[in-house]
Structure 1
Amino acid sequence: MTILVTGATGNTGRHVVDHLLKRGARVRALTRDPAKAKLPEGAEVVAGNHNEPATLGSVFDGVTAVHITVTSGVAESGPEFVKKALAAGVERFTILWGGYVGPAEQAVAESGVTWTRLEPQEFMANALDWREDIRAEGVVRAPFPDVRGAVVHEGDIGEVAAVALTEEGHHEKAYTINGDEALTAPERVSILSKALGRELRYVETSHEQAVQKLLDQGVSQADADYVVGWHADPPPEAYTPDGTLQRVLGRPPRTFAQWAEENAHRF
């Protein structure tokens, strides 16, 4: 059985590949540039873009299960991708949603084969957006200091995907995935400060400043408004731990302190 992992070099895709290999699965990792992939030994790294399914050629040969990471492009091309996968004999999907049930997620749910949808809320890796100001000034500028988020470790998401791809009992499940700690941004800054071994200051920014920061990064007005609006008033799933990881993995979620220690070198 070969499992195809799309978005294999992304924040979560790498962990999906890693956990599948640990389970003894044969993994085909799809990435735009295999030369830069730096994936674990044992993965078959192939070139391709799941946003452009018409170009994938023999990527599905021998593949019986697929992990899909929904990006802005695959949100629309997803139905064609799913159709090609099914025609090649794929019998199981996991899909990491794009924040809502769009065309790709719907195509998987209507595929007629085993599927599991992963619905993480806020990634711990979002803290990497703070790196520039931390390196320059030892400061984290972010809005909404009182808003809590049960942020989740990307490795936990990857492990849930690996379990659903290799074990029974996860068909037609939509898993809300979050951590066990509902932390504010200042609390995360304090934890990160300890991991880095130096004092970091939290500086509150306004809603408008947060939108402008995204606009300056090339994000569209609509997307910037949506992202900042979500963080200003997130859904209950984003800050209410629900125990999914404990039930699926048989252990508690990894903490933000663990993530900070693991990723301190990236700051």
Structure 2
Amino acid sequence: MILVTGATGNVGRHLVGELLTAGAAVRALSRDPATANLPSEAQVARTDEMPLDGVTSLFLNPAVFWNGLGDLLARAVEHGVRRVVMLSSAAALDDDPSNHLAAHHLGIERAIEATGMEWTFTRPGEFSSNALAWREAIRAGEPVREPYGAARSTPIHERDIAAVAAKALLTDDLVGAKPVLSGPEPLTHPEMVGLIGEATGRPARFEEIAPEQAREEMLTRPYMREGLVDVLLRLRARAVDRPMEPSGEVERITGRPGRTFKEWAADHAHDFR
């Protein structure tokens, strides 16, 4: 049995599908199983109950545990869980002690390593799905307002992250690995906005704003705190001169090229109409 935390999230939902297609038994966790809308083949349980009976492998999404793992890892060991695949972050490569995002992921990685269980830490960079934050502006015909328009990143499709996680859960190929995952091409946010416009057949514009204005706006969003906002802005500024290059790991691990942002925009065009 494979337990998937965050099963209704951008990555988790696709991972559940990948595992079921491969014939695996899946227990999917949701805060509200009644509205999870997951395949009937999956067992669906409440996140706060965290049932570990019969579980041999665990997909750990740390976004579900921002306030800490509690006794999850100790309970996993007691129940005989053999493997943990964690949705970590490329931010873990940053050794800046003020990077709260890096510290959060590295702390969980080290706690998992200390358990003696097998592990894999997938480390994706920017998710293509982060662009969903632009939905309201694009639907309203307003410009997407962001700082550092010249910054480049390599956005990765959530399906590719799920495919790598499935490989780590279903095979021994990635035990002890920390693959840095990226999309296949570096893009600026203005270029990404333009690709969304092409996919929807509607105008989509980008307007660069000052970092100070962006900070104020970001702090009004759910789950955004000052430390996290400052880290995200600092990483964005860094990407102007030092963009993350495509890692090639998705193709190496899955045997097929990573999906482009243009493909992601086509998959999600309905979200922006």
TM-score, reference length from structure 2: 0.89
Moved more, 183-192 or 79-88: 79-88
Distance across 1 between alignment mates of 2:142 and 2:220: 21
Q: How far does the alpha carbon of each residue in 1:31-85 deviate from its partner, in whole angstroms, 9 at most, with x for none?
A: 1100111112311111123xxxxx53xx1011000000012x6255336211111
Per-residue deviation at 1:186?
Answer: 1.0
Alignment counterpart, residue 183 of structure 2, candidates 165, 172, 179: 179
Let me know the Cα RMSD of the aligned residues: 1.8
2:92 is the counterpart of 1:88: no
Report matched runs for 1:149-188 at 5 Å: 149-188=153-192
1:155 counterpart SS class: helix
How far, CA to CA, are the matches of 1:37 and 1:20 in structure 2?
17
Percentage of pairs with the same residue: 39
Q: Given residue 205 of structure 1, which amino acid in structure 2 is its aligned partner?
A: I
Unaligned runs of 5+ in 1: 50-54
Residue 52 of structure 1 corresponds to none
- For residues 208-261 of structure 1, what are the alpha-carbon distances to aligned partners after superposition, in whole Å with 9 as ceiling and x for unaligned? 111111112252222211122222214999621111001100010001111101
Match of 2:234 in 1: 229
* 1:1-267 alignment, distance < 5 Å: 2-49=1-48, 55-56=49-50, 59-71=51-63, 74-75=65-66, 77-78=68-69, 80-97=71-88, 99=91, 100=102, 101-218=105-222, 219-234=224-239, 239-267=244-272
Structure 2: unaligned runs, 5 residues or longer: 92-101
Conserved? CA contact 1:108–1:115, under 8 Å: yes
For 2:59, the aligned partner's letter is H
* Contact 1:138 1:199 survives alignment (8 Å): no
Q: Distance in 1 between matches of 2:260 and 2:136?
A: 23
SS in 1 for 2:252: helix
How many residues align? The count is 258
* TM-score, scaled relative to structure 1: 0.91
Amino acid corresponding to residue 193 of structure 2 in structure 1: V
Give secondary structure in 1 for the equivalent of 2:178.
strand
CA distance in 1 between counterparts of 2:175 and 2:243 reads 23
SS at match of 2:56: strand
SS at match of 1:12: helix
Q: Deviations over 1:184-216 (max 9, x none)?
A: 111111111110001211111111111111112
* Matched position secondary structure for 1:115: strand
